[in-house]
């Protein structure tokens, strides 16, 4: 991902500074692998709040969202992914972020929001680069499956509620 850093951002930073940002991201990954979740999150937040080029901030935001999602801190993950989409609305990762948001909404029991995000993945994938066509096709298939799974989960929850109200 760090190869996506904008050239205008690179001009403003010394090689040493850029290496430092990359090192912080790599450090956060290692901290996460070693089980130091809080420390990894703080390291990524340091990159996000720094004067790092947007490419580094993009990576840090994405990874921070994924970390919170993995830790089942769903509200925080949702906030971070929303921030990602706000700061990088035309990013090639947008469909994947939307897919993640849909899954998070479903886990939270917000089925209508989940389905809305999955449909947004379908429409967003139509407008993206042709050079990643296979990637986007895969995302569309995932989104279609997630829509079906969400409808099934919603029906199952409604059925369970109905049975409990009888009993």
Per-residue confidence band for 102, with pLDDT thresholds at 50, 70 and 90:
very high
- pLDDT tens string 32-51: 999 999 999 999 999 999 99
Average pLDDT over residues 124-153: 85
Helices 54-70 & 37-48 angle (0-180, nearest 10): 150
Quote the pLDDT of residue 1: 45
Q: Which residue has the higher pLDDT, 13 or 16?
A: 16
Quote the pLDDT of residue 125: 77
User: Longest C-alpha distance within the chain, in Å?
Assistant: 68
């Amino acid at each position: 991902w760090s190869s996506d850093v904008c050239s205008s951002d690179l001009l403003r930073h010394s090689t040493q500074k850029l290496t430092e940002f990359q090192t912080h991201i790599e450090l956060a990954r290692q901290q996460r692998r070693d089980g130091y979740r809080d420390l990894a999150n703080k390291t990524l937040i340091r990159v996000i709040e720094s004067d790092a080029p947007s490419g580094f901030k993009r990576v840090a935001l994405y990874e921070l969202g994924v970390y919170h999602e993995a830790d089942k801190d769903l509200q925080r993950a949702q906030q971070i992914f929303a921030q990602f989409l706000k700061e990088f609305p035309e990013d090639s990762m947008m469909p994947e972020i939307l897919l993640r948001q849909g899954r998070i909404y479903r886990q939270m029991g917000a089925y209508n929001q989940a389905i809305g995000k999955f449909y947004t993945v379908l429409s967003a994938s139509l407008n993206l680069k042709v050079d990643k066509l296979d990637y986007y096709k895969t995302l569309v298939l995932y989104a279609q499956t997630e829509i079906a799974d969400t409808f099934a989960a919603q029906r199952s929850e409604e059925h369970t509620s109905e049975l409990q109200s009888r009993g």
